[in-house]
Amino acid sequence: MAQAKTFTQAELDQVLRHVAKSRYPQRNRAILLISFWSGMRVGEIAALLVSDVRNEDGSVKSEVRLTAQQTKGRYARTVFINERLREELAQYLKTARIRDPQQPLFFTEQSKGWSANTLTQWFYWCYKRAGITGASSHSGRRTFITNLASKGVGVRVLASLAGHRSITVTQRYIDVNDDMQRRAVELV
């Protein structure tokens, strides 16, 4: 099975322009960016509750603590949220007007939480309608890891951020591209 497509910034911008015209633009933007800017798996995104990301004072947390039940490997882990993503999530939470902290962070038209499978399908159709081929629900995660690797982040840190117990798994996520190779040879 082929690996998920790694996005360029132009391709991500293309998808963001597409979702800006969708029925739930702020929700859809937040779902995409949490994938691309935190590296969370689709099942982890689907399992998020409001209380996982929002502090009692209404601010967005800088660290999301996923329980073992929310992760693929059934190991609790911490996901670090950068300032840009905190701002995006704060905007989304304002528009969503979610009151109950135990409600799913992202919900469907029927006000139900997403299943991992349903959210996987959402990503597929979102990318397809935006004109991006070869992309899947794993593309954001793979792009996150590849972008950090291209900026010199070590594989051990990448493995920890991805929630991988083996650096070998993390290494398979890194997509080597021409820009990375050009920068590498300039180091000689």
Mean pLDDT estimate for the chain: 91
SS3 at position 60: strand
Q: How far apart are CA 152 and CA 138, in angstroms?
A: 22
| pLDDT score of 137 more than 90 | yes
128 token code pair: 């397809």
What superfamily would CATH give domain 9-135? Intergrase catalytic core (1.10.443.10)
Residue with tokens 């820009």: 179
pLDDT at 1: 54
**Could you read off the pLDDT of 62-119 as tens digits, one per residue?**
999 998 899 888 888 999 999 999 999 999 999 988 888 999 999 888 778 899 999 9
User: pTM for this structure?
Assistant: 0.88
The residues near 36 (Cβ < 8 Å, ≥ 6 apart) are 7, 12, 140, 143, 144
